[in-house]
Amino acid sequence: MNLSPESQERLRFLSRVVDKEIKHLEYADNQVFGGLLTYDAVEDLDKTPELAMKVEAFVSRFCRLQDTLGDKLLPALLKALGEPDRALLINLEKAEKYDWLASSEQWIALRQLRNQMIHEYIEDTQTLFDALSTAHNNKTVLEQFADKLGGQVWELLEE
């Protein structure tokens, strides 16, 4: 496939960004969950600003990586493959058909964690704790998706 220099550079750039975001997410994840985050610790976040900042970093990095993958790298890759611009859900279904993503439904469910981790935690400790735990337990979904997209990008660039 003959990609324009602009498309090639965009794909390279996004791949580098994803690699960095994965490293940053891994660091934040280790900071928050390395000591096994408990419900009580989440309930006392307002009394432990250091942990609160680590939780905020984890949430931010999880959401940022998901945004970069789903809203930037995936559409750029699909465009490079000659696919038309589509909505996120259609792109995720394409990614599933290409075997880059195990489940578009799971991806959407993980995306919905954003509101639970960002907004609802102010009022509901259990919601925040559950959302953080779910994000932590599913960060490999993001990493595997990134790995498959990255492999496809490099395959395209080597053609």
Per-residue pLDDT of the chain (159 residues; tens, 9 = 90+): 688 999 999 999 999 999 999 999 999 999 999 988 999 999 999 999 999 999 999 999 999 999 999 999 999 999 999 999 999 999 999 999 999 999 999 999 999 998 888 876 667 899 999 999 999 999 999 999 999 999 999 999 987
Cβ contacts of residue 139 below 8 Å, gap of 6+? 25, 29, 62
Cα distance between residue 159 and residue 155, in whole Å: 7
Contact status, residue 74 vs residue 91, Cβ threshold 8 Å: yes
DSSP 16-74: HHHHHHHHHHHHHHHHHHTT---HHHHHTGGG-HHHHHHHHHHHHHHHHHHHIIIIIIH
**φ and ψ at residue 21, rounded to 5 degrees:** -65, -35
Q: What local confidence, expressed as pLDDT, does residue 63 receive?
A: 96
Q: What local confidence, expressed as pLDDT, does residue 29 receive?
A: 98
Cα distance between residue 110 and residue 87, in whole Å: 17
Cα distance between residue 12 and residue 112, in whole Å: 28
Secondary structure (3-state) at 103: coil
N-term to C-term CA, the chain? 6
- CATH hierarchy code of domain 5-158: 1.20.120
